[in-house]
Amino acid sequence: MVFFAYLKERFPPGPYALLVASFYGAGAVYAHKVCRGTPTWWLAPVILLVFFHLRVFDEHKDHEKDKVSHPERLLSRGVVTLRMLKIWGAVAILGEVVLAALGGRDVFLWWLAVFAFTVAMRFEFGVGRWLNEHILTYAITHNPVVALLAAFTWASTHGRWDDRFNWFIWLASTTSLAFEIARKTRLPHEEVPGVDSYSSVHGREKAASLVYALVAVSGVLTVGALTSFTKDWRYAIPVLGGVLIGRYLTRLGMPQKKVELAASMAMLLDFGSLWAGAAFA
C-alpha cells in the first residue's frame, strides 16, 4: 500500500513510536512525581500524530526543492502526491482534535497552542527567505514546538503546575535540538549538492561540537530534573553514558549516521533515566 510505503520512507513508525513513548513516558511520569498528575497514556498518540502532520507540512513546504535534491523519493516521483498528503494530514489532525477534546479543556487548549505553532512553522513565520539563509536560527525558531508538546504532556496528566517541570521542558527542547542538528551534520562526501546542512554552512567540526554540547547540556538538565526529587545518583548513570556516547560518536571523521545515533542514544538515555527515577525513586 502506498501509504505504508511512504511511512517507511519518510515517517518510519517504529522509531517514531519509540521516540513518542519515551518522550511522553518521561514527561508524564515526571509530572506524576512532581505535579501529582496521572499519566493518560491514550493521549500519547496525539504527539505521534503531531509529528506526522509536521512531516506533511514540511513535504508541502519543501516540495519544489526536494524534487531536485531528492528525486528518488516517492513524492518526487509522483507515486505519492501532495493531494494524498493533504488527506492523510487532515485525518491525522482530526485524530488530534478528537483525542485532545476527550482529554478535557486544558488539554485541548494546549493542543490548540501546539497546532497554531505548527501552522506558523508551515509558513516559516512569514520570514522564510531570511530563515532559510540562517540555518541555525531556523532550527532554534522552530524548536519551541517541542516545549509546547512537553506542556501538553503535563496538561494531559491534570496535575497542578510545579516549577520543577521546567526541567523537563528544557530537557526535551535541548535534546531535540541536538537531534535536529545531528541529522544534518555530514562529512564532505555525504553532503547533498544544493542542500544546506549545519556542516556545509558552519563546518563539520563546529556542527558536531554543537551536537555534543547540546547532548552534554541535556545531560545536565536531566540530572537537574532527577535531583529535584531524589538524591539517589544511580539514576543518573545512564545519563553519563549518553554524554560519553555523544562525545565518542561526534568526533572528527564520524559519518552522519553515527552523529545522529549519538543524539538519539543520548535522548533515549535521558528520557529513560528520568522515567525510571520518577517511577521508582
Is the Cβ–Cβ distance between 160 and 93 less than 8 Å?
Answer: no
242's CB contacts (< 8 A; 6+ apart) are 215, 218, 219, 265, 266, 267, 268, 269, 270
Q: What is the per-residue pLDDT across 19-51, written as a single tens digit (0 to 9) for each?
A: 999 999 999 999 999 999 999 999 999 999 999
19's CB contacts (< 8 A; 6+ apart) are 51, 267
Is the Cβ–Cβ distance between 242 and 261 less than 8 Å?
Answer: no
Q: Render 114-175 in DSSP notation, one character per residue.
A: HHHHHHHHHTGGG-HHHHHT-HHHHHHHHTHHHHHHHHHHHHHTTPPP-GGGHHHHHHHHHH
At residue 194, the pLDDT reads: 85
Q: What is the per-residue pLDDT across 235-266, written as a single tens digit (0 to 9) for each?
A: 999 999 999 999 999 999 999 999 999 999 99
C-alpha cell at 114: 501546539
Q: What is the per-residue pLDDT across 52-106, written as a single tens digit (0 to 9) for each?
A: 999 999 999 999 999 999 999 999 999 999 999 999 999 999 999 999 999 999 9
**pTM of this structure:** 0.97
Straight-line distance from the first to the last Cα atom of the chain, in angstroms, rounded to the nearest whole number: 46
Query: Cα separation of 204 and 8, whole Å?
Result: 29
CA distance to 3, 26, 41, 61, 225, per residue, from 141 (Å): 30, 24, 29, 16, 24
